[in-house]
Amino acid sequence: MMKNKYQEALDDFESVYRNVTLDDDLTNEKRDVLQGLIDKETPMKPVKNSYGDYLCGKCNNLVWENFTPDRHERCNDKECGQVVDWSDEK
């Protein structure tokens, strides 16, 4: 999978500051927060269940019922919010 611009920026930041002595716990915590935001904005393919509905690939929340015309572009679970990749689905 191709990296998005946010992931590239975080990777570049890490490579520059890898040898700088900072508070490791704080640095790791902030890095994890940034990585979580990047992951949420990186589209993830939905999972089709046995009923033909589609679930969020991250939290399994319903993102499209097969009998409705509207698909969610983002998981509507407040804790998740994952962007959904519909590129392979018709």
- The mean pLDDT value of the chain amounts to 83
Q: How many CB atoms lie within 10 A of CB 87?
A: 7
Task: List pLDDT tens digits, range 45-79.
Answer: 999 999 989 999 999 999 987 777 778 899 989 89
Mean pLDDT of 2-25: 72
* 3-class state of residue 30 by DSSP: helix
User: 29 pLDDT band (50/70/90 cuts)?
Assistant: confident
Length of the chain as a residue count: 90
Question: Which H or E run includes 7?
Answer: helix 5-17
User: 1 pLDDT band (50/70/90 cuts)?
Assistant: low
Residue environment code for 42-55, b if the CB has 16+ CB neighbours within 10 A, otherwise e = bbeebeeeeeebbb
41: pLDDT strictly greater than 70:
yes
